[in-house]
Amino acid sequence: MVEAVRAALAFTEPLWGWAVQSWQWGWSNFDDPVGPMLAEHVLLSYASVLIGLALAVPLGVLSVRYRVVYPPVLGGVNALYAVPSLALFFLLLPYTAFTPWTAILPLALYTLAILVPNVVDGLNQVPDHVRQAAVAMGFGPLRRLLRVELPVAVPVIIAGLRVASVATISMVSVASLVGLGGLGGVILTYGFARDFAAPVVVGIALSVALAFATDGLLVLAQRALTPWARDRGPARRGGRSARRRIPGTGARAREEAAA
Amino acid sequence: MNIASEVASWFAQPQNWSGSGGIPVRFAEHVYYSVLALLAAAAIAVPVGLLTGHTGRGGFLAISLANFARALPTIGVLTLVVLGMGLGLTPVLVALVALAVPPILVNTYEGVRGVDPQVTDAARGMGMRGGEVLARLEVPMAMPLILLGLRTAAIQVVSTATIAAYVGIGGLGRFIVDGQSQQRIEQILGGALLVVALALAVTGLFTLLRRWVVAPGLRRRAAASSSTAS
Amino acid sequence: MRNPTRPAAAAAPLLLLLAACGGGGDPYSGGGGDGGGGSGDAIVVGSANFPESTLLAHIYAKALEAEDIPVETQLDIGSREVYHDQVAEGNLSVFPEYNGGILYYLDPEAESGTTEETNRAVRRELPDGLAILDSAPAQNKDSITVTEETAEEHGLTAIGDLESVAGDMTLGAPAEFETRPQGVPGLKDAYGVEFGGFRPLEGNLLVEGLRGGDVDAANLFTTNPAFTTGDFVALEDPQNLFGSQNVTPLINKKAVGQDAREVLNRVSAELTTEKLIDLDARVQIDHEEADEVAADWLSQAGLD
C-alpha cells in the first residue's frame, strides 16, 4: 500500500513540481506581469462580449420583427465565425496597431454567432398571451420590447452570454501572437519564449479561473434580473421539463449556437 | 477594390497551386489534421456522452470536465505540450481535441438525456435491455443533437487548425502566418477565405449527413424544436 | 518594476464604451503609451515580444529612472511594423533595436556592412522624427547554425562549407527569411548554398526543431542562450551576408531629451556581446525575471 502510494507520488512528481513551481512563479510575479496582464485579459474579453451584446440585441430584434432578415444575418455571423481569429488580428493590425481594438473587434464579431440566435430564440419564446396582455395595457412596440419582451428573454440571452464569455476568454490568448493577448502574453513571452513551463501553467490556470468566475457572475446576474423565475427554481433545475417548455434552449443554447 | 483584385490574382497565380506549399497540398493537410482531431475527439466524447446519458451516472462530472476543457486557452495547451514533447503533429492534435470534445460530449449527453422517459419505459416494457434501448432507441433519437455537436466541433477545429502553422507544420494557417511575416495581405486574406470555404463545406456536409442518418420523423420534430442554424 | 501603462491601455476600451454612449468624438487618439493621462512628459520605453528585447527595455528604463528621468514601459509589442509606427507617432519614445534590423526594414535591398556603415545608412533612411543613438558593441546577428554532430560529420565551420551538403538538408527559419535578400536568396548569391527544404519556425521553436532533428540547420540569433550548452555551432559568415546587428536605441527625437540620450549612450558603451549572452541566459535558462537581471547588471556596471 505504502509502496503503491510512493510509486504514484514518484510517477506524478513532475506534475507536483510543475504545480509548486508555477504557484511560486505566479505569486512572486503577480505585481508584474501577471496581475496587469490578467487585468488586460478581463478588460479585453468583457469589452468584446459587451460590444457583441450591444450589436446582437438590435440584430436579434430586427430578425424577429422582419423574418426575412434572419437567414442572411445568421448566415453572415456564422461565416464570420469561421474566419480564423489569427487572420483577423493580422488584418486589423495595420489599422488599429497595438490598441486593444485589434483584439476586441474580431472577438466581438465572433460572439455574434452565439448571441444573435439566442436573442432571437429568447424573443420568440415570449408567449403570445403575454404579448397580447402588454398590448391590452396600451404598451407601444418599443415599450413592449423594453419592458416585457426583453426581460422575458433574459434567461435565454444570458445562456448565450455564458457560452460567449467562456469562448471569448479562452480565445483572447490568441491575440498574444500580435502582442495583445492578456494572459496569452504570460504564456508566450514569459513562458514559451523562455522554454519555461511555469508561466504557461499560470496563464492557463488564471484563464480558466476567470472563465469560471465570469460564468458564476452571469448566473448571479440572471437571478437578479429575473426575480420571478426564482420561485420556480426546482422545476427549472429539472432540465427536461424546462427544455420542453422553452424549445431550443437546452443543449442548443449551450453549444449549438457557436456554429 | 484594389485588395480584392490582389486576392483574386493571388488565387489566379499558377505557382500558388503547385508544389508542397501550394493550395491543394495545404488544403489537404488542413483537412487531414481536422479529420484526425475530430475522429479522436468523437472517439472520446461520443461513448462517454452515451454512457453517462444512458445511465444518468457521472453526468455532472462529464459536463464539468467538458466545461473545463472549453475554458482552456488553445494557445496555452499547444505551447505546454510543445514544451513537454517537442515539435510535431501531436501538440496540435492535443489542442484541437481539447477544443472538440466539449461540444460533442455535451450534445451527446443532452441528446440521450432528452429522450422522453415514457418512451424508454415503453421499450423496457416490451422487453428491451439496457444496451438495446441505447442502441435502438436513444442513439437514433439523440442523433440530431449528436450531429449538431459534431458539426460545431468540426467548424471550431477547422478554424483553429490554422494555429498549427505557428508550431511549424502545414495546413492553411501557413498562408496566414507566413503572409503576416512576409507582409503579404493578399495571402493572409486568401488563406482566411480558404478556411471559411472549408467551414462552409463542412456545414453542407453535415446537412447532407443529417438527411442520411436521422429518421424522417425525428427530423421534422427536431426542426420544429430547434430551428437550426443552417 | 511597476508597469503603469498596461492597465491604463487595457482600461481604454471600457472608457471608450462609456465615451461612445455619450457620443464622444475620437477618444482613442493615442496608443497605450499616453493612456494614463497626465504623464505626457514621461519617456515611454517599448519592447518587442521576445525576451532579449524585454530585458533591454528594462535596462533602458532602469538606467533612466536612476537619473530621476520619469519613465513608463510598454512591453511585449508584436512586430516591427507596429512598433516603428508607434515610435514615429510618439506613443513610444525609446525602443531597443538592432541597427541592421532597422536598415533592412527601411530598405529591404540595402547592402550589409560594418557597424558604422550600417548606422550611416540607417540615419540616411530614417524618417524625420526618428533617430538612433550610439550602438552598443553587443551584437545579436542572424546565423546559420547546425548541431555539433552535423558540423563534425560534414566538417562544417563556415556557411560556404554547406554548398555540397545543403541539398539534402532542411533549413528552419522565420518565414520572412525565405524571401528577404539577406535570407535564402542571399545564401545562394553569397555562398552558392541552396537548402533542399525550408521549414518556417520562430524563436524557441527553432531550438526545439534543431534539437529534435526536425530541421538540420537553423537561422538562430547569435545571443540565443541555447549556444551556451555547446551543442550548437554557428557557422562563420566571412562574406558578412548578415551584416551588423548592434543593439541600438531607436528614439523619437522630440520625446527624448539630451540628458536621457546621454544616459542611454552610457548604457550602450558598457554592453558587450558576451555580457548580453550572459544576461540572456539568466533570463531564458535560469528563468530569473528580466527586471531583476537588468537591475543587477546596471549596478555591476555602475550605472544605477
What integer pLDDT is reported at residue B76 of this predicted model? Answer: 94
**pLDDT tens track for C167-185:** 999 999 988 888 888 899 9
Nearest-CA neighbor of C35 among C10, C1, C69? C10
Which among C176, C211, C214 has CB closest to B182?
Answer: C176
Note the helical H segments in A29-149: 35-65, 70-82, 85-96, 101-124, 128-136, 141-144
What integer pLDDT is reported at residue B222 of this predicted model? Answer: 55
B207 at A interface, C-beta within 8 A: no
B84 at C interface, C-beta within 8 A: no
Which among C176, C211, C212 has CB closest to B181?
Answer: C176
Q: How confident is the model at residue A5 (pLDDT cuts 50, 70, 90)?
A: confident
What integer pLDDT is reported at residue B228 of this predicted model? Answer: 37
**pLDDT tens track for B50-86:** 999 999 888 899 999 999 999 999 999 999 999 888 8
| Whole-number average pLDDT of chain A | 85
Which residue would you say has higher pLDDT here, B149 or C20?
B149
How many Å is the Cα radius of gyration of chain A? Answer: 22
Residue contact A82–B188, C-beta within 8 A = no
Q: How confident is the model at residue C143 (pLDDT cuts 50, 70, 90)?
A: very high
Residue contact B75–A191, C-beta within 8 A = no
Q: Which residues of B touch C211 (CB under 8 A)?
A: 86
Which among C175, C178, C209 has CB closest to B87?
Answer: C209
Residue contact C212–B86, C-beta within 8 A = yes
For residues B134-157, average pLDDT = 93
What integer pLDDT is reported at residue B216 of this predicted model? Answer: 78
pLDDT at C159 over 70: yes
What integer pLDDT is reported at residue B223 of this predicted model? Answer: 53
**pLDDT tens track for A232-252:** 544 443 333 333 333 333 333
**pLDDT tens track for B109-137:** 999 998 888 988 899 899 898 888 888 88
pTM exceeds 0.80 for this model: yes
pLDDT at C19 over 90: no
Q: With left for phi above 0 and alpha for psi between -120 and 50, is residue C240 left, alpha or beta? A: left
A204 at B interface, C-beta within 8 A: yes
Q: Cell 455574434 sits at which residue?
A: A112
Q: What is the dihedral of CA C211, C217, C223, C227, to 10 degrees?
A: 40
Q: Which chains touch C (3 or more CB pairs under 8 A)?
A: A, B
pLDDT at B198 over 90: yes
pLDDT at C299 over 50: yes
Q: Which residue of B has its CA nearest to C214?
A: B87
Q: Which of B75, B96, B156, B181 to mutate to test the interface with A (most CBs of A within 10 A)?
A: B75
**pLDDT tens track for C62-107:** 999 999 999 998 887 767 777 888 899 888 999 999 999 999 989 9
Which range scores top for mean pLDDT: A198-207, A228-237, C226-235?
A198-207
How many Å is the Cα radius of gyration of chain C? Answer: 21
C97–chain B nearest CA distance, Å: 18
What integer pLDDT is reported at residue C16 of this predicted model? Answer: 41
Q: Which residues of C touch A194 (CB under 8 A)?
A: 51, 204, 283-284, 287
Which among A90, A173, A243 has CB closest to B73?
Answer: A173
Question: Which of A171-175, B215-219, C54-58, C59-63 is predicted with the least confidence, judged by mean pLDDT?
Answer: B215-219
What integer pLDDT is reported at residue C165 of this predicted model? Answer: 95
Q: Which residues of A touch C14 (CB under 8 A)?
A: 43, 46-47
Q: How confident is the model at residue A255 (pLDDT cuts 50, 70, 90)?
A: very low
Q: What is the rounded distance in angstroms from the CA atom of residue A113 to the CA atom of residue A32?
A: 35
pLDDT at C21 over 70: no
For residues B197-210, average pLDDT = 94
| Whole-number average pLDDT of chain B | 89
Nearest-CA neighbor of B96 among B163, B148, B168? B163
pLDDT at A69 over 70: yes
Which stretch of DSSP H or E encloses residue C73? strand C71-77
What integer pLDDT is reported at residue C17 of this predicted model? Answer: 41
What integer pLDDT is reported at residue A231 of this predicted model? Answer: 56
Please report, in angstroms and rounded to a whole number, the separation of the first and last CA atoms in chain C. Answer: 14
**pLDDT tens track for C95-135:** 999 999 999 989 988 888 899 999 999 999 999 999 999 99
Which among C7, C203, C284 has CB closest to A39?
Answer: C7
Q: What is the rounded distance in angstroms from the CA atom of residue B159 to the CA atom of residue B104?
A: 17
Do residues A173 and B73 touch, judged by C-beta distance below 8 A? yes
How many Å is the Cα radius of gyration of chain B? Answer: 21
Peptide bond into C200 cis (omega under 30): no
